[in-house]
Amino acid sequence: MHLQLNAFIRDLPFTGDLQRDSQALLTYHNRIVTARHSLRVAAEAKRLALHWNEDPAKAEIAGWLHDISAIVPRDQQLNLAESLEIDILPEERTYPLLLHQKLSAVIAREIFSVTDPAILSAIECHTTLKANTSALDKIVFVADKLHWDQPGDPPYLDALRTALEHSLDAAALCYLDYLWQRRETLPALHPWVVEAYQELSNVA
């Protein structure tokens, strides 16, 4: 494990129960809201996976760990990403919060020994999605948007639920279109959002 990641777990005992351990790590770093959000996203991702005939266990794991990088203070995330040799896009340097999805994937692999490429991919793009995504990627992406970590209900919730009755692609596109219509006001428009939006606009 990278030494800088080891500093975040210190002497915290792990039990081997991924849900319990991820919740304990978030709680240890006083990320209570994120811990609760992760449980809701995991439950939703599992439900969606069962509905769309995908692997519910993989969806649940990705949900538990998608925001695990919250253990890293925001003002340290860019430096940590550089230390971990993560490929950092210009938009992620402009708005480092966008890096949290990539950091979460690395933490899932390095601290929690998650090696399944499908799970790591779903974690890595849960905020922005990306082009050529799997059903699991879309499931975790949509689950995260259904249960955002802000007060109240998201303004796109009804439209997203309606779109989800049709397909995962329609649901993913619904949120991406929500971002696209507001692209001029975003701190940064991640290129993965653009790629996913363009791809799904042609097929959904």
Domain boundaries, the chain: 3-203
Q: What is the pLDDT of residue 182?
A: 95
* Burial degree of 90 (CB within 10 A; 0-12, 13-18, 19+): exposed
For 127-148, how does the pLDDT look when each residue is reduced to its tens digit (9 = 90+)?
A: 999 999 999 999 999 999 999 8
pLDDT at 47 over 90: yes
Tell me the C-alpha distance between 161 and 39, whole Å: 19
Cβ count near 39 (within 10 Å): 18
Q: What is the pLDDT of residue 10?
A: 83
SS3 (DSSP) at 103: helix
* Band (178; pLDDT cuts 50, 70, 90): very high
Q: What sign does the CA torsion over 33, 89, 107, 122 have?
A: positive
CA-based radius of gyration for the chain: 16
Q: What is the pLDDT of residue 151?
A: 79
Q: For the domain made up of 3-203, give the CATH fold.
A: Hypothetical protein af1432 (1.10.3210)
Mean pLDDT, the chain, rounded, equals 95
* Band (74; pLDDT cuts 50, 70, 90): very high
Name the pTM for this structure: 0.96
For 141-174, how does the pLDDT look when each residue is reduced to its tens digit (9 = 90+)?
A: 999 999 987 778 889 999 999 999 999 999 999 9
Angle between helix axes 117-124 and 135-146 (nearest 10 degrees) is 40
* Band (109; pLDDT cuts 50, 70, 90): very high
For 22-44, how does the pLDDT look when each residue is reduced to its tens digit (9 = 90+)?
A: 999 999 999 999 999 999 999 99
pLDDT at 204 over 60: no
